[in-house]
Amino acid sequence: MFVAHRKPGELVDEAEREGYPRSFCSWIKGIYSVVRTEGFRRMVGVTQGDCSNTHALIETLADEGVEVITFAYPFDRDRRALRGELERFLERLGVSWNDAEEWKGRLDVFREKALAVDEGNMEAGGLQATEVNQLLLSTSDMMAGDMEGFGRVLDDVIESKILPAGEGRREHKEIRLGIAGVPFIFNDLLEWLEERRGVRVVYLEIPRQFAMPYGGEDLVEQYWHYTYPYGIFPRLEDIKLELGRRRLDGLIHYVQGFCYRQVEDIILRRHLKLPILTLEGDRPNPLDAKSILRLETFLEMLAG
Ligand code: SF4
């Protein structure tokens, strides 16, 4: 709801007018303004596994009367602790474990379809990464709760846009790129890469994780396999696996301005053996001249 907003920059401005500093992550500022402008009275706040900026978000919204239900991923990825936290969370929502498992089964259908679209993008032509990105991200809220509509969109894409492997490819050798890191805030990065530079983006690390590709047989396994909340090392394993499977020529590591996860770039570079461009964004704007120049240089190096 933030990045798809008609003027997402105004949401960031609004948070700054309320007192959020300029030197603070724009994702938090945008989400803060969405909760207020949409009039949400209840929210889930992740207190471990996201970032400390989320704590400030929770505190400011709670102070404005929003009911916050917290959830903490255990940092050490301990299964028993995760189960305990899930039980606490369900109790707080007044939902039984069995009901939650039943809902997991229903939602898994949509996750599987979104992941089929992602696999289709990896192997065949016919899809645009912009669309794949949007569908994968939508698994985090099932297209703002419109499950039927989401199912129709997914079926339509699977039936009409996934071409058989080999069809729809361009004649010249394509550069195959992946994007790792927190969701990028540039609103034209994928269009720029694919439509203006003819690059194929075949790996979107975190949007794919939002779809929970290693589903697991129950809720504990599903949330245990989800790499995003447990630091860089589980993510690194997942990224290494996908680099080979998706035959990547290079990786863009997107980092968000004023985000602690920027430091993880050091570890990614130490452990991944392929060309990496670290790209930093701040506000929900199109690519700026400096970023375009860096991308151009990176693509030239890969093409050469
Ligand atoms: S981008 Fe970084 S600072 Fe911003 S919300 Fe995500 S983890 Fe926190």
With tokens 């690194």, the residue in question is 236
- Give pLDDT, residue 162: 75
Phi, psi of 110 (to 5 degrees): -70, -40
**Ligand 1 center to 260 CA (angstroms):** 7
Q: What is the average pLDDT across 97-119?
A: 95
Q: Give, using CA atoms, the residue closest to atom 4 of ligand 1.
A: 25
Q: What is the average pLDDT across 272-278?
A: 97
- Give pLDDT, residue 182: 95
Q: How many CB atoms lie within 10 A of CB 21?
A: 10
**Ligand 1 center to 258 CA (angstroms):** 8
Domain with CATH 3.40.50.11900 in the chain: 73-303
**Ligand 1 center to 153 CA (angstroms):** 29
| Separation of alpha carbons 223 and 111, rounded Å | 14
182 lines ligand 1 (CB under 6 A): yes
Q: How confident is the model at residue 171 (pLDDT cuts 50, 70, 90)?
A: very low
- Give pLDDT, residue 13: 98
Among 144-148, 159-163, 206-210, whose mean pLDDT is lowest?
Answer: 159-163
57 lines ligand 1 (CB under 6 A): no
Q: What is the pTM of this model?
A: 0.94
- Kindly report the average pLDDT of the chain as a whole number: 94
Residue 215 has pLDDT above 90, yes or no: no
Q: What percent of the chain has pLDDT over 90?
A: 87
Query: Domain 73-303 is in which class?
Result: alpha beta
Q: What percent of the chain has pLDDT over 70?
A: 96
Cα-Cα-Cα-Cα dihedral sign, residues 293, 299, 303, 304: positive
- Give pLDDT, residue 165: 58
Residue 90 has pLDDT above 70, yes or no: yes
**Ligand 1 center to 186 CA (angstroms):** 15
24 lines ligand 1 (CB under 6 A): no
58 lines ligand 1 (CB under 6 A): no
211 lines ligand 1 (CB under 6 A): no
- Give pLDDT, residue 163: 61
- Give pLDDT, residue 261: 94
Residue 197 has pLDDT above 50, yes or no: yes
- The answer to whether 197 and 172 are in contact (CB under 8 A) is no
